[in-house]
Structure 1
Amino acid sequence: MPTREEYLELWGEENTVPVPVAEWRSKFAAPAATWPEVDLLPIDMSVAFTSYIDGEFSLFDEFEIRYEEEGDTQTFLILGKMPETATSFFVLDPDTGVIHLMDPEDMTLETVNATFAAFTRFLYRFAQFVEADEGEETRPARAEILERELKSIDPSAFVRHDNWWNMVVLLLKGELE
């Protein structure tokens, strides 16, 4: 597992934001194994992720979805968003540790990673991939290797063909525009 220093070196100190992981661990019910080994997220990760949020919501806001039929509410914590979108947020379910892609306008949830720990590892591996990029000629073969590595970390992220990480890998392979 990479150390905090390795995350900082790869993402860059100026390109990270501290995450209140210790506070969340004590406040929320997610199992211990779901929490990441570091208390950082990158601010900008190319086409994959940004923690720069402007508008109605802020980074780490608690967002509640109310389910009318059951009368229940579910809380999510905003971790970031898809770059180039206004409201496709990466959110943490603090009761399970699952990361979802959520659109608060239509209340849709798409599972991204089984745990917050897997999500940060994916972002780390993606940053390594980007840093070592030598261009379009070698990118597809390297994307195949990245896909295998990511699947070994969290196979659930690739269950559906249209899941977020599948789409990112397809883009890197040159199979999406």
Structure 2
Amino acid sequence: MTDADAYRKAWEPDNTIPYPRAEWLAHYTAPAATFPAIDFLPIDMSVVYTAYLEDAQFDLYSRIDLDMGRDGKLRLAVVGAVPEDKDDMLFCLDLDSGQVLLLGVGDGTLELVNSTFKALAEFLYEFALFIDADTGGAGRAQRAKALRAKLNAIDAGALADRESWWSVALMQLGAKG
């Protein structure tokens, strides 16, 4: 298990922001095991993730309740966004299941990003380590393939669909699925 200092080092100490872990654990039904052991997230992770939502349509950690018809309400909390489209593509924690979903605000789409909030943090950690060590060019595809294998061991569901958020991000690095 990776400790808080390793996460801070990978994400850089000035590039982290606390999230209300204790409050969410006390008030929502997502199992404690689905949360990262840490109580902070990175602010900015290259092209894959940002928690910097200033001037965006939704605030970080704001609640979004979606009416799912007969299935009731889907209770979500915004935990980040796609940097290129932070008004429309939101990473949301399902406050009941602990899954992280990508919400397309404009068209109402939902896509699994990670099976747990903990897995999202681990993916962002491993991605940061990859980026820090990456020199580009020769060998990147092989390193990206190794990253895919590591991420698959953490959360195979996040990579099961070739069109999923993480599958596409890894393909852009040169890792074929």
Q: Which runs of 5 or more structure 2 residues have no equivalent in the other structure?
A: none
| Distance (Å, rounded) in 2 between the aligned partners of 1:55 and 1:46 | 18
Please state how far the C-alpha of 1:174 moved relative to its aligned partner.
7.0
CA RMSD of aligned residues (A): 1.3
1:7 match: 7
TM-score by length of 1: 0.94
| Distance (Å, rounded) in 1 between the aligned partners of 2:90 and 2:161 | 19
The question of whether the paired residues in 1 share the 8 Å contact of 2:148 and 2:175 is answered with no
Question: Which structure 1 residue ranges, 4+ long, deviate > 6 Å from structure 2?
Answer: none
| Distance (Å, rounded) in 1 between the aligned partners of 2:73 and 2:175 | 40
1:131 match: 132
| Distance (Å, rounded) in 1 between the aligned partners of 2:56 and 2:49 | 17
The code of the aligned residue for 2:84 comes to E
Describe the SS at the equivalent of 2:17.
strand
Please state how far the C-alpha of 1:40 moved relative to its aligned partner.
1.1
| CA deviations over 1:91-150 (Å, ceiling 9, x no partner) | 000100000000122211000110000110000000000000111212111000000000
| CA deviations over 1:49-76 (Å, ceiling 9, x no partner) | 0011132210000011113x42822210
| Distance (Å, rounded) in 1 between the aligned partners of 2:90 and 2:6 | 26
Equivalent residues in 2 for 1:28-107 (5 A)? 28-53=28-53, 54-67=55-68, 69-70=69-70, 72-85=72-85, 86-107=87-108
Describe the SS at the equivalent of 2:70.
coil
The question of whether the paired residues in 2 share the 8 Å contact of 1:65 and 1:107 is answered with no
Q: Which runs of 5 or more structure 1 residues have no equivalent in the other structure?
A: none
The code of the aligned residue for 2:91 comes to F
TM-score by length of 2: 0.94
Describe the SS at the equivalent of 2:129.
helix
| CA deviations over 1:10-30 (Å, ceiling 9, x no partner) | 111211110111110111101
The question of whether the paired residues in 2 share the 8 Å contact of 1:77 and 1:93 is answered with yes
* Stretch deviating more after TM superposition (97-106 or 146-155): 97-106
1:165 match: 166
Aligned residues: 174
| Distance (Å, rounded) in 2 between the aligned partners of 1:140 and 1:37 | 31
